[in-house]
Amino acid sequence: MRVDVVSIFPEYFAPLELSLIGKARGAGLLDLAVHDLRTWTSDVHRTVDDSPYGGGPGMVMRPEPWAAALDAVARPGSVLVVPSPVGEPFTQADAHELAALDHLIFACGRYEGIDQRVLDDAADRMPVREVSLGDYVLFGGEVAVIVIMEAVTRLLPGVLGNAESLTEESHAAGLLEAPVYTKPAVWRERAVPEVLRSGDHGRIARWRRTESLLRTATRRPDLFAAYPGELLDKKDRAA
């Protein structure tokens, strides 16, 4: 997968050199380039913003540098992703969709956002997805891109050694994962649940299933309500 990120703060993306994303890049599974939006300005001050039409606080990103940047990095098959608090909620299903694409462009807005015409104009040439990480406001899209790239990169074929962890994990089936434990078996007088040490794989699977349902029902009633009833068996209902 090829990814182009455009931002006025390219330094923000240093963490994408580290850990498993860095490894995926080193292994050639992810080809990621970060570009400074100011490369595409044409005035001496390298201006990227101006005051909003209609008045109001803050500044808006001007269309010209963005249009030049997107023209430069777009290719056939590109999808433009714009993190924004007014976007659609970003979910694990979206991460799967993005992970299946050949080319992503991320446009990182700052200030009050990017002139709407940039997104409208880009939409004539490629799919444009405005996505929000949650109901809060960040300074800009940079941190959101790092989050989205973590969610996407770990789904790329060959990035995670154990593909089974993808099917078992939280949100894979619309439920939160059960609690996890490791050694020692007793720590600060707290014992690991006996069932996990029983070696009885049937009982362990049932325990995890029940814990997963209980966790989801208490912490995320929205997810629990959306969980298809036909996927609940008799033992689930008893729990």
Which residue in 25, 99, 126, 132 binds ligand ADE (CB under 6 A)? 132
Q: Is 29 annotated as a binding residue?
A: no
Report in angstroms how near the CB of residue 118 gets to ligand ADE at its nearest: 15
Size of the site for ligand ADE (CB under 6 A): 12
Of 134-142, 151-159, 193-201, 229-237, which part binds ligand ADE (CB under 6 A)?
134-142
**Closer to ligand ADE at the Cβ: 116 or 218?**
116
- Phi then psi dihedrals of residue 15, to 5 deg: -60, -20
Report in angstroms how near the CB of residue 114 gets to ligand ADE at its nearest: 11
58 binds ligand ADE (CB under 6 A): no
- Name the CA radius of gyration of the chain, rounded: 22
138 binds ligand ADE (CB under 6 A): yes
**Closer to ligand ADE at the Cβ: 137 or 191?**
137
110 binds ligand ADE (CB under 6 A): no
Q: Is 109 annotated as a binding residue?
A: yes
Q: Is 124 annotated as a binding residue?
A: no
- Phi then psi dihedrals of residue 160, to 5 deg: -95, 130
Q: Which tokens in the block code for residue 199?
A: 């070696």
Q: Which tokens in the block code for residue 110?
A: 């700052």
d(CA 127, CA 153): 20
**Closer to ligand ADE at the Cβ: 143 or 192?**
143
Report in angstroms how near the CB of residue 137 gets to ligand ADE at its nearest: 5
Contact criterion met (CB below 8 Å) for 176 and 212 = yes
Q: Is 115 annotated as a binding residue?
A: no
Report in angstroms how near the CB of residue 130 gets to ligand ADE at its nearest: 9
Per-position x/- string for 74-103, each x denoting binding to ligand ADE as judged by CB under 6 A, each - no binding: ---------xxx------------------
- Phi then psi dihedrals of residue 82, to 5 deg: -120, 105
**Closer to ligand ADE at the Cβ: 132 or 170?**
132
Under the rule (CB under 6 A), what is the footprint of ligand ADE? 83-85, 132-134, 136-138, 140-141, 144
Q: Which residue positions form the known binding site for S-adenosyl-L-methionine?
A: 109, 133-138
